[in-house]
């Protein structure tokens, strides 16, 4: 994918989450079952960096479960970050605005756990994904782990019906990568956003190229338990 196309897709998603951030947050009132499964294996004192933290729902779930470690959430959407800060109390959490496709704010420490739920599939192109993971690996403490999830929307006929032609954003299928899609949004108005559909093998290869090794992989979420692909990585 050419750099200018990736930039256009980043801007498309930026505008989507700026315009529909509040409507999107209203549909995300609880975390996914796969995230609950991940939480079961985390020590309560775990310190973690959450990439693409959205409206802070994961932080609230951690607080409700009695987690007491330090939490830092990064996201680029002001409406979602406002929702995160407004609704979270009694938990040692901070939220920062950061564009994960660019260079992040300088972090004062390295983290034993990094989570990146439902975010990588919105990062277009190999170069931007590797830039994100390069910074994540640098922010990971020795012996630490990274847990990621990606949306498996092609497993749902309902979600497949939301796929739109690229011409709606003045692009063509030849200009984007294989398994890249344009999907519409129908809550609080009509919107469009970019998403990539990862296979387990592609996600493992992405990890390997960034210097990670995949330790575990599972599907979860949705009525049939297959709308989210989760993987746990460690630095090689």
* Domains of the chain by start residue, with CATH: 3-153+198-235 (3.40.50.150)
Beta carbons of 55 and 85 less than 8 angstroms apart: no
DSSP three-state, residue 158: helix
Q: What is the C-alpha to C-alpha distance for residues 203 and 212, in angstroms, rounded to an integer? A: 11
Q: Is 84 left (phi over 0), alpha (psi -120 to 50) or beta?
A: alpha
Full pLDDT tens readout for the chain, 236 residues: 999 999 999 999 999 888 876 666 666 667 899 999 999 999 999 999 999 998 889 999 999 899 999 999 999 888 888 888 776 666 788 999 999 999 988 788 899 999 999 999 999 999 999 999 999 999 999 999 999 999 999 999 999 999 999 999 999 999 999 999 999 988 777 899 999 999 999 999 999 999 999 999 999 999 999 999 999 999 98
How, if at all, do strands 191-196 and 180-185 pair?
antiparallel
Q: What is the C-alpha to C-alpha distance for residues 33 and 36, in angstroms, rounded to an integer? A: 5
Among 174, 171, 170, 153, which residue's Cα sits nearest to residue 162?
Answer: 153
pTM here? 0.93
């Amino acid at each position: 994918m050419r750099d200018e196309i990736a930039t256009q897709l980043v801007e498309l998603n930026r505008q989507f989450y700026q315009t529909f951030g509040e409507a999107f947050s209203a549909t995300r009132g609880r975390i996914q079952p796969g995230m609950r499964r991940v939480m079961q294996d985390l020590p309560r004192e775990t310190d973690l960096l959450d990439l693409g933290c959205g409206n802070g729902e994961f932080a609230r779930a951690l607080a409700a479960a009695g987690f007491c470690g330090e939490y830092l959430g990064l996201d680029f959407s002001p409406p979602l970050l406002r929702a995160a800060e407004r609704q979270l109390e009694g938990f040692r959490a901070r939220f920062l605005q950061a564009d994960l496709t660019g260079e992040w704010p300088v972090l004062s420490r390295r983290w034993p756990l990094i989570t990146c739920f439902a975010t990588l599939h919105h990062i277009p192109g190999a170069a931007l994904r590797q830039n994100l993971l390069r910074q994540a690996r640098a922010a990971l403490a020795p012996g630490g782990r990274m847990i990621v999830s990606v949306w498996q929307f092609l497993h749902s006929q309902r979600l497949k019906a939301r796929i739109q032609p690229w011409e709606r954003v003045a692009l063509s299928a030849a200009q984007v990568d294989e398994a890249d899609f344009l999907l519409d949004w129908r809550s609080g108005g009509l919107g469009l956003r970019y998403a990539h559909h990862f296979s387990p093998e592609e996600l493992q290869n992405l990890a390997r190229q960034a210097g990670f090794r995949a330790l575990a992989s599972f599907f979860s979420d949705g009525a049939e338990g297959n709308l989210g692909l989760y993987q746990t990585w460690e630095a090689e």
